Amino acid sequence: MNVNTAQGLTLSLLAGAIAAATAPAPAVAQQATLEEVVVTARRRDESFQDVPVTITAFSEQDIRDAGIERPQDFISLTPNVTLVETQNQGTSFITVRGISQARNSEPSVAVMVDGVLMSNPAQFTQELFDVQQIEVLKGAQGAVYGRNAIGGAIVITTREPGDDPEATFRLGYDSGPGAKAQIMGNGPLGDSDTLSYHAALSYYDTDGWIENPYLGEEADPFKDTSARLRLLWEPSDRLSADARLYYSKVETQALFFNIVGFPSAVPLDVNDTSLPVRVNNAGVNDRDLGQLSFKVDYDLDAATFTSITSFDQIEEILTGDQYDFLPIPESANVTVFGLGDDWAQSQYLDVDTWSQEFRFTSDPDERLRWIAGAYMIGTDRYISTGNIVDRGLGAIPVYRTPRGNAPFDPSIYPDSFQTSFLADSQDNFAWALFGEIGYDLTDRLELSFALRYDEDTREQTTLSPQPFLDFWGLTGTTGEVREETWDEAQPRLTLRFQPSDSLTLFGGYSKGFRSGGFNQTGVGDAAAAAGIAGVGDLFDAEIAETLEFGLKSRLAEGRVNLNFSVFDTEAEGSYFFVFLPSTSTQNLGSLDQVDYQGFELDVSAALTDSLDVFFGYGYTDSEIKEAADPTQVGNQAPLVSEDTLNVGLQYRRPLGGTGLEIFLRTDYQRIGDTWWEPANVTVRNPVNLLDWRVGVEGETWSVVGWQRNFNDVRYNAEFSPGGFVFKAKPRRWGIDFTKRF
**Domains: count for the chain:** 1
- Alpha-carbon gap, residue 574 to 540, rounded angstroms: 9
Give the 3-state secondary structure percentages of the chain, helix then strand then coil, rounded to 5. 10, 55, 35
Number of alpha helices (DSSP H) and beta strands (DSSP E) in the chain:
7, 42
Q: Supply the pLDDT for residue 37.
A: 86
- Alpha-carbon gap, residue 713 to 276, rounded angstroms: 15
Give the pLDDT means over successive 10-residue stretches in the chain (741 positions). Answer: 40 36 39 80 88 94 94 96 93 93 84 89 91 94 90 94 92 97 94 93 97 96 97 95 96 95 77 95 95 96 95 96 92 83 93 96 92 96 92 91 84 86 93 96 96 95 90 85 94 96 95 87 74 81 95 93 96 86 72 96 94 97 94 94 96 89 96 95 96 95 97 95 93 96 91
Helices marked H in 389-506 — which ranges? 466-471
Q: Positive or negative, the Cα torsion across 402, 408, 410, 413?
A: positive
- Alpha-carbon gap, residue 593 to 625, rounded angstroms: 5
- Alpha-carbon gap, residue 85 to 498, rounded angstroms: 40
- Alpha-carbon gap, residue 368 to 496, rounded angstroms: 14
- In angstroms, the Cα distances linking 29 to 153, 422, 652 are 37, 65, 12
- Which residues are paired to 319 by β-bridges? 346
- Alpha-carbon gap, residue 279 to 46, rounded angstroms: 51
- Alpha-carbon gap, residue 143 to 432, rounded angstroms: 10
Pair 434, 455: CB distance under 8 Å:
no
- Alpha-carbon gap, residue 413 to 387, rounded angstroms: 14
Report the chain's terminal Cα–Cα distance, integer Å.
29
Q: Supply the pLDDT for residue 24.
A: 42
Opening angle at CA 505, ends 434 and 667, nearest 5? 95
Q: Supply the pLDDT for residue 265.
A: 60
For strand 92-96 and strand 418-440, is the pairing parallel, antiparallel, or unpaired?
unpaired
Opening angle at CA 627, ends 569 and 676, nearest 5? 75
- Alpha-carbon gap, residue 213 to 307, rounded angstroms: 53
One-letter amino acid for residue 156 of the chain: I
- Alpha-carbon gap, residue 199 to 188, rounded angstroms: 12
- Alpha-carbon gap, residue 440 to 423, rounded angstroms: 54
- Alpha-carbon gap, residue 699 to 741, rounded angstroms: 10
Domain that holds residue 149: 3-740
For strand 585-591 and strand 574-580, is the pairing parallel, antiparallel, or unpaired?
antiparallel
* Distance from the Cα of residue 38 to its chain's centroid: 23
Residues in the chain: 741
- Alpha-carbon gap, residue 209 to 728, rounded angstroms: 10
Helix (H) or strand (E) holding 462: strand 445-462
Pair 125, 112: CB distance under 8 Å:
no
- Alpha-carbon gap, residue 453 to 277, rounded angstroms: 47
- Which residues are paired to 228 by β-bridges? 200, 246
* CATH number of the domain encompassing residue 614: 2.40.170.20
- Alpha-carbon gap, residue 315 to 350, rounded angstroms: 4
What lies within 8 Å, CB to CB, of 126 at 6+ separation is: 70, 71, 226, 248, 289
- Alpha-carbon gap, residue 181 to 170, rounded angstroms: 6
DSSP state of 599: E
